Amino acid sequence: MQKWTKDIFQRLRELVRAIFYYGKGRFCPICEKYSRRFRIFGLVPREDAECAHCHALERHRLLWLYLLRRTNLFDGHPKKMLHVAPEPCLESPLKKRLGEGYLTVDFNDPRAMIKMDITAIAFPEETFDVIYCSHVLEHIQDDRKALREFHRILKSDGWAILLVPITADKTFEDLSINTPEERLKVFGQENHVRRYGQDFVERLREAGFKVEVIKVNDLARPEEIVLMGLTPASGEIYYCTKQSTIR
């Protein structure tokens, strides 16, 4: 009875949402649904940010567009993909397309398939064809060790997309700042341990990666940028390889 009631309320919420956001002003490439506009989202509220249907944010829509247009992820050939701290809006479509080759890990989230510390990854060298980790490293004290671990487990012809929020001119960290209140004041969030700058690329290179930086304008036409809500909050794509590959 309780499950039946929950299902009814869920369907009613979906119906109300569909009616309220009905329109063609915005399109989400992940769930492939249109809406009148995207929803407001964020600690500092952002207009046109969250898909009303799948809850994808700007960075998720940019990533999906990149996966579709610039990578071999969905070419039908079997791949092993590691998804760190899986976002619900991406987890379901990735699992559907990749099947048994798709693996999620997280240290805290019980939804993930495996509990894992990314500074000590329990997989052999060159295990994965693809690694995706977004907005996680700013929570990790020894992020350089995590990056070296990603490099170790990535196949020689594989690729990784490693994303962080860029909120400073130059990366700033201070491990003596260790209380939630201090971190909120200095890093902008209670569980962040640094602010990354554009020199994040150098940190990736130090770990052994070759890095290609892709911006919104590299992927989408002006009209697509508006339609998909690819605002500056979308950030950039950091495409990392161990050697030159054909995508």
Q: Map residue 207 onto helix, strand or coil.
A: coil
**160 is written with which tokens?**
């990784």
pTM: 0.90
What is the average per-residue pLDDT within 20-25? Answer: 81
CA distance linking residue 150 with residue 238, whole number of Å: 14
Query: Residue 44: pLDDT band by 50, 70, 90 thresholds?
Result: confident
* Residues 176, 181, 186: CA angle, nearest 5 degrees: 60
Annotated domain spans of the chain? 1-56, 58-241
- CATH class of domain segment(s) 58-241: alpha beta
What is the average per-residue pLDDT within 99-126? Answer: 97
Q: How many residues does the chain have?
A: 247
